[in-house]
Amino acid sequence: MSLRPPAGFIRPGYDPLKNPNAPTGVSATAGDASASVAFTAPANVGGSAISAYYAVSNPDQITGTGASSPVSVTGLTNGTSYTFSVWALNSYGPSGYSGASGSVTPSFQRALFAGAGDLSGSYVNTIQYVSIVSTGNALDFGDLVGSTPFGAAGNASSTRGLVAPGSTSNTIVYVTLATTGNATDFGDMTIGRGILGACATETRLTFGAGKGLGANDPTNVIDYVTIASAGNATDFGDLTIARYCRAAFQSTTRGVYCGGNFNFDPYVTNVIDYITIASTGNAVDFGDVTLPTDSTYLTGCSSTTRGILGSNNNGENVISYVTIASGGNTNDFGDLTVARRQAASASGKTRALFAGGNVGGATASNVIDYITIASTGNATDFGDMIDSPYTSFGCGFSSAHGGLA
């Protein structure tokens, strides 16, 4: 990239002695088809105050502008590697270009949170979304269709998200992750149920466990579908114990179902099962939920290597983890920013998000927290849900489905 001032900003009275010096210390953080470019403003601003900064990509010379650091550059191509240089402008003209940032690669990582209960005891069909790589508040995506979304479960490939709305229904719906809009009918599960979990690879999604049609009727059934092809589910096998189980996640090969409840409170099970998603068959014992102390209605998500659990029915703020390839009991990870129960979770290549939940009684939380999955520690505030009726039993999933895409 040329270090000469951009020609379009050279004025008739151009005087390089009155132009600003170039910014320094440029760094970039990738987003979804975007990057945030940070820099240090020059100490020598020239003959007048700096009016704008311009961040330019290499390749493609896509430019973003702003009054201060950082500058957002949009319109980038996901999967393409970019560096960025920054220049400053005052009333006399432009600085030269800064040195280039390190290389970053934007990627499409959108997390969706679907369905939940509100403070009146009713259930809502709202779908919300955030970009996992950029903190901020959630935006409206569309609505679920079909049954009341009590105890919904969802997961996704890199392009399509599937939700079993629950409430003892056998309906499955889907959304195209890159395009906001209402869900579309996909097919039916083999048995209607709510309060269940889902795990997926890029091609296959499984729904396991759940509350059946009876008042206290847990099931050990696992179904599967091919994500790209709408149609009814097929029997996969059985979990080791019948239960209501919301916490499920995956690696590139394994699906894991964690803890749960087999007859409503206080009939808690700490069992963790796993399956090999590509091969139908019954689940195998993985280990136990030892943290948090109550595994009822946990929520779970993952990277390709580590499964994350949090937000149980006791409203603890404990986050725990397992190594998916190794099996074993849960380990302490850190704490959520807000202790709550029955939140939703979703994860990208590096981050896990916990959204909404009930903080006790008739008090809801619209807080979204995030953690860096590879590094144990406490959660950090990410942003907020659109509003705060979301008390329980919503689900989350993402286009990166645990870093698999």
For the domain bounded by 7-94, which CATH number is listed?
2.60.40.10
Name the β-bridge partners of 87: 54
* Sequential DSSP letters for 46-76: TTS---EEEEEEETTT-EEEESSS-EEEESP
In the prediction, which pLDDT does 123 show?
77
Q: Which two tokens stand for residue 156?
A: 């996704």
Distance CA(333)–CA(340), nearest Å, equals: 16
Tell me which residue of 384, 369, 402, 366 sits closest to 118, measured CA to CA: 366
- Is residue 370 within 8 Å of 379, Cβ to Cβ? yes
Query: The domain 110-398 is classified under which CATH number: 2.40.50.140, 2.120.10.80, 3.40.50.150, 3.40.50.620?
Result: 2.120.10.80
The pLDDT value recorded for residue 365 is 84
The one-letter code for the residue type at 405 is A
User: How high is the pLDDT of residue 215?
Assistant: 66
Q: Mean pLDDT per segment of 10 residues, for the chain of length 405 residues?
A: 53 73 94 92 95 96 96 93 96 92 91 80 84 91 81 92 88 94 96 92 96 82 97 98 94 96 82 97 97 91 95 89 97 94 90 89 84 97 79 84 65
Could you state, in order of their start, the residue ranges of all structural domains in the chain?
7-94, 110-398
CB 397 within 8 A of CB 354: no
Predicted pLDDT of residue 1: 45
Nearest to 124 by CA among 388, 398, 397: 388
Give the model's pLDDT for residue 2. Answer: 44
Instruction: Tell me if the pTM is above 0.85.
Output: no
| Per-residue model confidence (pLDDT) at position 405 | 58
DSSP states along 138-198: -EEEEE--SS--TT-EEEE-SSEEEEE--TT--EEEEEETTS----EEEEE-SS--BS-EE
d(CA 41, CA 53): 9
